[in-house]
Amino acid sequence: MNWIPDYKYILASKSPRRQELLKSLGIDFEVKTKEVDESYPMDLSPNKIPEYLAEKKAGAFSDELKAFELLITADTIVILNDQVLEKPTDYDHAFTMLKALSGKMHQVITGVCLSSVKKSVAFSSLTNVLFKELTEMEIEYYIKNFKPFDKAGAYGIQEWIGSIGITHIEGSFYNVMGLPLQKLYEEIQKF
């Protein structure tokens, strides 16, 4: 069953969720990370930001890649009413974000970049997510117990808040977790 091309795979992500998701594809990989400035041009369209950042992260490794290595970088953002919701800075910021998401449809976009010494390909996936009206008690419980300060939009779909609060999704569930697995699988096969 050799449907995964024969590369030495490198995932450039500290995210335990991305590592877990890539493992589920049956790919052996090594994790390498670098601190990368995640700023982007302010005039960049929100739906272009994740690919831009995934490519920027890949660029940090461009001088180090060796033959037969395939680097995977990714970035996920949450968009509500054309506003980007990044990772919350503290409890109050997380509370404000979740209160804003309550009862509304929002978009989660993950950009991915595949890079080798010969080429680089970037793509993204969009998922629409709808939360029910969340109570303040539910939001407080979630933030206090799950501390979602490392998550865009202040939530993890796979956590308690996703189980009790998300009423509808259109698109990839795994994309909301941080890696659009089906699309990634197809793009690796084409790479």
Q: Which residues are tagged catalytic?
A: 75
**Going by C-beta distance under 8 Å and a sequence separation of 6 or more, which residues neighbour residue 142?**
98, 148, 155, 159, 160, 161
Q: CA neighbours within 13 Å on the CB side: how many for 155?
A: 34
Q: How far apart are CA 155 and CA 18, in angstroms?
A: 15
* Phi and psi based region of residue 171 (left: phi greater than 0; alpha: psi -120 to 50; beta: remaining): left
Q: How many residues does the chain have?
A: 191
Residue 152 · residue 176 · CB < 8 Å: no
With DSSP H G I counted as helix, E B as strand and the rest as coil, what are the percentages for the chain, rounded to 5?
Answer: 35, 25, 40
Q: How far apart are CA 16 and CA 25, in angstroms?
A: 15
